[in-house]
Structure 1
Amino acid sequence: MASFEVIGGKPLKGEIVPQGAKNEALQILCAVLLTDEPVTISNIPDIRDVNKLIELLRDMGVKVGKLSPDTYRFQADDVHLDYLDTPEFAAQGRALRGSVMILGPMLARFGKCQLPKPGGDKIGRRPLDTHFLGLEKLGGKLTLEGTDFYRISTEGRLHGAYMLLDEASVTGTANIVMGAVLAEGVTTIYNAACEPYLQQLCKMLVRMGAKINGIGSNLLTIEGVERLGGTEHRMLPDMIEIGSFIGLAAMTGSEITIKDCQIPELGLIPDTFRKLGIQLEFRGDDIFVPAQDNYEIATYLDGSILTISDHTWPGLTPDLLSVLLVVATQAKGTVLIHQKMFESRLFFVDKLIDMGAQIILCDPHRATVIGLDKRTRLHGITMTSPDIRAGVALLIAALSANGRSVIENVEQIDRGYQYIDKRLTALGAQLRRL
């Protein structure tokens, strides 16, 4: 198990390019199963979760060719359906949350799929009901073996249906869309997720020959087609990385330029950091974060304490709340962080309290942060990364803290951030992998 040794309290400086979007990659890669023609995908991040999914596709029989460090060509013209019955497939599926998104493509094209309950971050309950309820409405028949192995199949083609999703699940919507594009008839999905990454999936499917209306809204209408063709696709930069780098610059008092951000796709992220008092300057498609000695949290017009909460798109992504919480510890003022979606995601704040932060964990979903205004710096400790997003938040805290920190279990961070130690070292960070 690897660790990071961090010597904090040093300002950083320079330019950094965000990786391709992890959450988009997990959807886009599964979509290659919908066609027997070649699909070329670029700006793929070199991170553990994505590499595991590529390995799973290869083992399923998908031809995988690496054209450059971030570009691959996939061709699913000889998928090995019998591989799904092997212990190796079960082990791969359990190790990777993104494996759930093979269900829709496999059911639509081959009429069957099976999957163990997938893994991923331990951040609270993450039910799969939306996935299966949607696929069942398209004609899939689900059986459950034991408590954690799912089989779903259909006789003939899936058929279009109207559905109102019980939650605007991004991966659930992606699975249903990938099933519906090859279904017979029209599918209407109301309360669909509409995140930029889901929009990217829909646009890619349209280039492959799918008929999808309402992209970018929560009402999708899909007219099924008999087959899809190949295409080329370039993924968006990772908005969570971009937000993490903004937070890093603020916490360490650094001057950092984040390159090629696709700013129109960032939604509320820039304005949320501005509410914490962080100055941002858009220079074309780059974000320049100047060095700031201090930043002050805004209040509401009546003077009451600001609340920052997550919500489905176009609300604030829950994946950035851990970073925003850390950034608030060194701000001037007080903020309530309300994590609505996952009840275990704030449980890393004990490490920040040990570093000297003033945080009141009100309940599993809410934490009040009393900013130290950089008058009292955090101090280094030894800690463990519990999940991807908390891990990078703790790394930001360590880089801003006085003294030496050790972050254990950094494989969690590696799952979502490519070469993060090397890229931050290039900005001047004193960071070493043990």
Structure 2
Amino acid sequence: MSSFRVTGGLKLKGEITPQGAKNEALQILCAVLLTSETVTIHKIPNIRDVNKLIELLADMGVQTDKIGPESFSFNASKVDLSYLDSEKFLKKASTLRGSVMLLGPLLARFGQGKISKPGGDKIGRRRLDTHFVGFQKLGAKFHYDHQQEIYNIDGHQLKGTYMLLEEASVTGTANIIMAASMAQGKTTIYNAACEPYIQQLCEMLNRMGAKINGVGSNLLHIEGVKELKGTEHTLLPDMIEIGSFIGLAAMTQSEITIKNAKVDRLGLIPETFKRLGIKLEIRGDDIFIPSQKHYEIETFIDGSILTVADAIWPGFTPDLLSIVLVTAIQAKGTVLVHQKMFESRLFFVDKLIDMGAQIILCDPHRATVIGLDRKYPLKGIRMTSPDIRAGVSLLIAALSAKGSSIIDNVEQIDRGYQYIDQRLNALGADIVRLD
């Protein structure tokens, strides 16, 4: 297990380029199974979850070639379906939540799929019902082995149908889209997720020969095709990294320019941080955050306390609520952070309280932050990263604190942020990795 030793209180300065989007990468990598032709992907982040999925694809017989620092080519013409029966596959897949999105392509192209219960963050229940109900409506038949916790799925007779999703699950929508792309007939998906990452997946599949209409909306129409071809695809910059860097700049009074941010695909993210009082300038496709000693949280028009809550796209992404919460610690004013989707994602605030933050955890879903307005610095402590987003939030807190902090279990941070210690040290941070 690795740790970070973080020396706080340093102001950072310079330019930083966000990595390719992790959540998009997991979808796009699974989609390479849909064709026997070569698929080339650029801006793939070098992070644990993505690397583990690439390894899993290679184990399945997909030819993977690194053709550049952030570029890979994939050819799935010789997939070994017998590998799905191996204990090695089931064990590897169970450690990576994104592995569930292998099912859609496997069912579409090969008519069968198998997977154990996938893992991932310990941030509360994350149901697979949307994925599985969608497959069932397309005609897939399920058998669940309770003893081994393995799902066996037969998808040899997938047929297009109408479905209204119970929840606008991003990974569920992606999985169903991939399965429906080669199903017989027309599929209509209502209440589909429509995040930029889903739009990217649909646009990629259309370049491969799929027939998907309604991209960018929550109503998708998919006409199944018999085969898909190869393509080339570039991932969007990671919007969660971009939001994290905005919060980091504010908390540490740093002057940072975020390069090539694809501002037009960020939705409410810039505006939400502006409501916390953070000044930022859009310069073409870059975001400039000046050094600010003070930033004041807005209130609602009637003077009531600002609430920042997560919502399905185009609402505010739940992955940035942890960053909003930590950024508000040194603001002037009060904000209620309402995490609706996951019931365990706010439990890391006890570490922030130990550092000196004024936070009231109202319940598993809501926390009220009373900003310190720089009157009291946070103090360095030893803490453990429980999940990806909380881990980066603790790192931001440590970088702004007085003294030295130790963050344990930084493998969680590595799952979502590539070379984060090296990249921030290049801006003037003092982060030492301890193995």
Shorter-chain TM-score tier: over 0.9
Structure 1 position 61 matched with structure 2 position 85 = no
In the alignment of these two chains, the number of paired residues is: 433
Partner of 1:150: 151
Map of 1:395 onto structure 2: 395
Partner of 1:341: 341
For 1:287, the equivalent position in structure 2 comes to 287
What one-letter code is carried by the residue in structure 2 that aligns with 1:241? E
What residue is the counterpart of 1:240 in the other structure? 240
- 1:252-267 counterparts in 2 under 5 A? 252-267=252-267
1:83 aligns to what?
Answer: 83
TM-superposed deviation, 1:201: 0.2
Aligned 1:3-402 pairs, distance under 5 A = 3-146=3-146, 148-156=149-157, 158-402=158-402
Amino acid at match of 1:152: I
Please tell me the residue identity of whatever aligns with 1:296: E
CA distance in 1, matches of 2:316, 2:152: 34
Q: Which residue of 2 aligns with 1:430?
A: 430
SS at structure 1 position matched to 2:345: coil
Amino acid at match of 2:151: Y
Percent of residue pairs bearing the same amino acid type: 71
Shift of 1:372: 0.1
Look up the equivalent residue of 2:209 and give its one-letter code: G
- Corresponding residue SS for 2:392: helix
State the alpha-carbon separation in 1 of the partners of residues 245 and 407 from structure 2. 18
User: Once the 2 structures are TM-superposed, how far is the Cα of residue 293 of structure 1 from its aligned partner?
Assistant: 0.4
Q: Which consecutive residues of structure 1, in runs of 5 or more, have no partner in the other structure?
A: none
CA offset at residue 155 of structure 1?
A: 3.3
Residues in 2 aligned to 1:365 and 1:166: alpha-carbon distance in whole angstroms: 21
Further displaced range: 144-153 or 260-269: 144-153
- 1: distance between equivalents of 2:172 and 2:408? 32
Q: Secondary structure at the match of 2:188?
A: strand
Q: Helix, strand or coil for the counterpart of 2:330?
A: coil
Deviations for 1:370-427, whole angstroms, at most 9, x for unmatched residues?
0000110100000000000000000000000000000000000000000000000000
**8 Å contact kept, 2:388–2:412:** yes
d(CA) in 1 for partners of 2:344, 2:119: 15
TM-score (norm 2): 0.99
Do the aligned partners of 2:110 and 2:156 also contact (CA within 8 Å) in 1? no
What amino acid is the match of 1:68? G
Instruction: Please state whether the residue corresponding to 2:93 is helix, strand or coil.
Output: helix
Residues 115-157 of structure 1 show CA distances to partners (whole Å, capped at 9, x for unaligned) of 000000000000100000001111100110016211111334x
- Describe the SS at the equivalent of 2:261: coil
Aligned-partner Cα distance in 1 for 2:360–2:260: 37
- Give deviations 1:256-302, integer Å, cap 9, x for gaps: 00000000000000000000000000111000000000000000111
Q: SS in structure 1 opposite 2:114?
A: strand
Task: Tell whether the 8 Å contact from 2:107 to 2:156 is kept in structure 1 after alignment.
Answer: no
Task: Look up the equivalent residue of 1:278 and give its one-letter code.
Answer: I
Tell me by how many angstroms 1:352 deviates: 0.2
Q: Which residue of 1 aligns with 2:405?
A: 405
In structure 1, how many angstroms separate the alpha carbons of the residues matched to 2:294 and 2:261?
Answer: 25
CA contact (8 A) 2:96 2:118 kept: yes
3-state secondary structure, aligned to 1:298: coil
Q: Give the SS at the match of 2:367.
A: strand
Q: Structure 1: which 4+ aligned runs deviate by more than 3 Å?
A: none
CA–CA distance in structure 2, aligned partners of residues 134 and 431 of structure 1: 45
CA offset at residue 202 of structure 1?
Answer: 0.3
Matched residue SS, 2:89: helix
Q: What displacement does 1:229 show?
A: 0.2
Q: Deviations over 1:166-193 (max 9, x none)?
A: 0000000000000000011000000000
SS at match of 1:386: coil
The letter for the 1-side match of 2:366 is: R
Q: Distance in 2 between matches of 1:83 and 1:152?
A: 15
Matched position secondary structure for 2:40: strand
Q: Secondary structure at the match of 1:329?
A: helix
Give the letter aligned to residue 330 of structure 2. Answer: Q
What CA distance in whole angstroms lies between the structure 2 residues aligned with 1:303 and 1:46? Answer: 45
User: Aligned partners of 2:298, 2:112: CA distance in 1, in Å?
Assistant: 52
Cα shift at 1:69: 1.2
**Distance in 1, Cα, partners of 2:250 & 2:428:** 15
Q: 2: distance between equivalents of 1:64 and 1:254? A: 40
Cα distance in structure 2, aligned partners of 1:320 and 1:17: 18
Alpha-carbon separation, structure 1, partners of 2:395 and 2:378:
12
